[in-house]
Structure 1
Amino acid sequence: MESELSSPAQRLGVTVPFDAPLEAHRGLYRALADAGYTDVWSIESAGTDAFTPLVLAAAWEPRLNVGTGVASVFTRGPGLLAQTAAALAEAAPGRATIGVGVSSAVFVERWNSVPYVKPYQRARDVLRVLRSALAGERTDLDGETLQVRGIRLGRKPAAAPPVVLAALREGMIRLAARHADGVMTNWVSPADVRQVVQTYRDAGGSGTVVDRIMVCPNPDAELVRTSVKPLIARYLSVPGYAEFQRWLGHADQLEPVWRAWHDGRRDEAAAAVPDELVDGLVVHGTPEQCREGLRQYREAGVTLPVVSIMPFGVDAFEGALALAGR
């Protein structure tokens, strides 16, 4: 069924899983497809891994495309990552996209005891191995961060799934243009998207532009702003995100936030986030206003918006349905 935000020519994704047991998601996936969502994209941070929710979606709801958003290039070896990606592509033939990224030092080093070094080079090396292996080729690589010998998948997917790279800053965006099938970003405004897309296209990228867009379908603007500011302060103080925001031209707005955060003054950091920055990075308001906000992202060059429903005064799943006009 077509929603107000998707059409046969447009895809619309939503971030999963929701705050419910995975075994309860069968009905949720069906309802999302009924509402007009075409894609479900996972998140891999402190909750589930990137693949398990999508394997369930692939089996339970064949109308949905599935995408990892994202699997770390550090925490799985390239052979295992290729095997897992191929298995997802086999479970959802023609419907899977593999999103990979460098994650963060916290997740890679502190949680997984893997050195977080040369992230750009690691992403480049993994992309080379992953795309070659998924194409069914015997793969060898003497890279800057990887040395692999003779990777060849015993169960090659019928069609190699597209691989997109989560990119923060110009170098990664250009890497996505050269070595991936698309680029993925988040915590950006429509104006920021134009800068990302221009850089990607100028570097020769012609693939999908995926954007995880923070959305809160709640008309209480003050509640949304107050609730989201601590999250913005925490995320945008991570070194990779901070450099990305500098590249996008937001340093003047964020310098007070960064100073307070790095001094350990968390409440002051959140309070220093300007309202206008929140309004640029988070789509909020009535469902109708949020739909208009998402249209602005499409007009800026996003080809696959993936909404992440913020549960501030709303239930995330019900908010997703309301956003789709259901």
Structure 2
Amino acid sequence: MDLGLNLGYSGSSIGEVLPLVTHADRVGLDSVWAAEAYGSDVVTVLSYLAARTERIKVGSAVMQMPARTPANTAMTAMTLDHLSGGRLLLGLGLSGPQVVEGWHGVPYGKPLGRTREYVEIVRKAIAREEPLSHEGTHYEIPYRGADATGLGKPLKSILHPLRPTIPIYLAAVGPRNTALAAEIADGWLPIFYSPEREAILTEHLDAGLAAAGRDPADLDIAATVYAAAGDDVQACRDRLKPMLALYVGGMGSRDKNFYKDLMVRYGYEAAAQRIQDHYLAGHKAEAAAAVPDELVDEIALVGPLDRIVDRLAAWRESRVGTLILGTQQPEILEPIRDALG
């Protein structure tokens, strides 16, 4: 199992987390990942990290598809891959309707069809085997709409790719998006993964693999697990609960929240509803307090290092190929690396 590091939305604090990243690079972690939502962008952060490290892979978790045309994403990926010496892992995701329509100002549309076409175009552009063209339901290249000039023609990137294929990871939470990731991506980026309940997730993953005739070994499950180490187990749990409350209670609307739906599928329906009710009422402390200890223990790594190392046994037995730590504690990286072998 490979070990990664997740920095989250770290654009404004990159100077603070850089020592953690260089330490991860030095002790042999496989990858470091950064995110974007509606603040700092992920490309700038990864460019900076690639310039300040030597061997660690740099991954986007995720680069938002609605923010960029597929060709722009391909250009960015090829450029970052060159600058990093072939270390890019291209993580893509749709985000949710609130961000897509409320921030980027584009329609959320039909996410499954859009994602399928997007990934196909990105791969074509990077492969550079022929001029880029695509005629689909969601994308038309060259554009030939009613307001087109008629001057567009298929083009090849003037930048030759360092690698003709760059690994593409898809972030997905819902059943159909998860199946699509298994069908078309090189890796899957799940959040709040439960090794004991992974059958709830892999049921849809396996459906996608079967639809594409793919071997499960061809798909890297790269799961982010948040970690908080310390002598007081309850205090460590409580450090992570506000983040969980934000996702379950506030990431989305009352009727459409992918993370709340996942908690319900895990069997925490009553707790998920309490978290959302508190959060949407503006009672964030109460929402955090409503997060069950059992849920934190299940999807995170908390407490003394020996407790965390013992908990890794469940992850080693899971189908996860890359364990991505969400932490800012450099002292836990090497013990976890050694425990994973």
TM category, shorter: 0.7 to 0.9
Q: Distance in 2 between matches of 1:154 and 1:121?
A: 29
Q: Is the 8 A contact 1:57 1:64 kept in 2?
A: no
State how 1:1-326 maps to structure 2 within 5 Å.
10-16=1-7, 22=14, 27-45=19-37, 48-137=40-129, 138-149=131-142, 150=154, 152-159=156-163, 160-204=165-209, 205=214, 206-237=218-249, 238=251, 239-309=257-327, 316-320=329-333, 323-324=336-337
TM-score normalized by the length of structure 1? 0.84
- Percent identity reads 27
Q: Which amino acid aligns with 1:277?
A: L
Change (3 A) 1:319 1:19: farther
Q: Distance in 2 between matches of 1:219 and 1:173?
A: 36
Name the stretch that deviates more: 172-181 or 87-96.
87-96
TM-score normalized by the length of structure 2? 0.81
Q: Is the 8 A contact 1:40 1:65 kept in 2?
A: yes
Bigger Cα Rg: 2
Q: Distance in 1 between matches of 2:294 and 2:7?
A: 28
Q: Distance in 2 between matches of 1:297 and 1:88?
A: 31
Query: 2:32 is paired with a residue of what secondary structure?
Result: strand
Aligned to 1:6: none
Deviation of the 1:265 alpha carbon: 3.9
Name the stretch that deviates more: 80-89 or 218-227.
218-227
Q: Is the 8 A contact 2:173 2:190 kept in 1?
A: yes
> Unpaired runs of 5+ in structure 2?
143-153, 252-256
Q: Is the 8 A contact 1:194 1:301 kept in 2?
A: no
What CA deviation, in whole Å up to 9, does each residue of 1:67-118 have, x standing for no partner? 1111011111111111001111222344221000111234333333233332
Deviation of the 1:284 alpha carbon: 0.5
Q: Is the 8 A contact 2:225 2:300 kept in 1?
A: yes
Q: Is the 8 A contact 1:16 1:53 kept in 2?
A: no
| RMSD across aligned positions (CA) | 2.7
Change (3 A) 1:319 1:43: farther
Change (3 A) 1:136 1:234: same
Name the stretch that deviates more: 194-203 or 183-192.
194-203
Q: Is the 8 A contact 1:88 1:96 kept in 2?
A: yes
Q: Distance in 2 between matches of 1:198 and 1:277?
A: 21
Query: 1:189 is paired with a residue of what secondary structure?
Result: coil
Q: Is the 8 A contact 1:163 1:180 kept in 2?
A: yes
Name the stretch that deviates more: 209-218 or 52-61.
52-61
Q: Distance in 1 between matches of 2:74 and 2:330?
A: 31
Q: Is the 8 A contact 2:3 2:323 kept in 1?
A: yes
Name the stretch that deviates more: 258-267 or 90-99.
258-267
> Unpaired runs of 5+ in structure 1?
1-9, 310-314
Q: Is the 8 A contact 2:228 2:239 kept in 1?
A: no
